[in-house]
Structure 1
Amino acid sequence: MIPTARSPFVKQFSPLQPAPIMDVCLSSEQQPGHLNEGPSTPDGWLEAKEEGALHEDGTGGPPGESNKIEPSLQSLQKFVPTDYASYTQEHYLFAGKKIVIQESIESYGAVVWPGATALCQYLEEHTEELNLQDAKILEIGAGPGLVSIVASILGAQVTATDLPDVLGNLQYNLLKNTLKCTAHLPEVKELVWGEGLEQNFPKSSFYYDYILASDVVYHHYFLDKLLTTMVYLCQPGTVLLWANKFRFSTDYEFLDKFKQVFDTTLLAEFPEASVKLFKGTLRWD
Structure 2
Amino acid sequence: MMTGDAELSMFPADSRLFEDSFSAENTYRVSGQNITIHQYYCANLGVSASVWESALHLCQFFESLDLSGKRIIELGAGTGLVGIVAARLGAHVTITDLPLALAQIERNVACNTPLSGWPSGAPAVCPLSWGRDLHRFSSAWEFVLGADIVYTPETFPLLVDTLVHLCKDGAVVLLASPMRREHGAQDFYSRVLPEVFEVELVQRHPESNINIYKATLR
Give the TM-score normalised by the residue count of structure 1. Answer: 0.64
How far apart are the structure 2 equivalents of 1:237 and 1:226? 17
Q: Deviations over 1:142-173 (max 9, x none)?
A: 11011011101111000000000000001100
How far apart are the structure 2 equivalents of 1:179 and 1:122? 21
- The partner residue of 1:126 within 57, 61, 64 is 64
Q: Deviations over 1:20-45 (max 9, x none)?
A: xxxxxxxxxxxxxxxxxxxxxxxxxx
How far apart are the structure 2 equivalents of 1:278 and 1:164? 27
Contact 1:114–1:244, Cα closer than 8 Å, also in 2 = no
How far apart are the structure 1 equivalents of 2:75 and 2:167? 12
Q: Which structure features the higher share of strand residues?
A: 2
Larger radius of gyration: 1
Instruction: Please name the residue that 2:133 is paired with.
Output: 196
Contact 1:152–1:178, Cα closer than 8 Å, also in 2 = no
Instruction: Please name the residue that 2:186 is paired with.
Output: 252
Matched, 1:110 2:46: no
Matched, 1:153 2:88: yes
Superposition misfits of 4+ residues, deviation over 3 angstroms: none
Unaligned runs of 5+ in 2: 1-19
Instruction: Please name the residue that 1:211 is paired with.
Output: 144
Contact 1:155–1:182, Cα closer than 8 Å, also in 2 = yes
Match of 2:35, SS? strand
Identity %: 35
Instruction: Please name the residue that 2:175 is paired with.
Output: 242
Match of 1:221, SS? helix
The CA deviation at 1:272 is 1.4
How far apart are the structure 1 equivalents of 2:31 and 2:38? 19
Give 1:145's aligned amino acid.
Answer: G
- The partner residue of 2:34 within 79, 93, 98 is 98
Instruction: Please name the residue that 1:273 is paired with.
Output: 208
Unaligned runs of 5+ in 1: 1-83
How far apart are the structure 2 equivalents of 1:112 and 1:261? 30
- The partner residue of 1:163 within 83, 98, 120 is 98
Give the TM-score normalised by the residue count of structure 2. Answer: 0.83
Stretch of structure 1 that moved more, 175-184 or 232-241: 175-184
Aligned length: 192
How far apart are the structure 2 equivalents of 1:112 and 1:240? 20
How far apart are the structure 1 equivalents of 2:87 and 2:39? 19
Contact 2:173–2:215, Cα closer than 8 Å, also in 1 = yes
Match of 1:216, SS? coil
RMSD in angstroms over aligned alpha carbons? Answer: 1.5
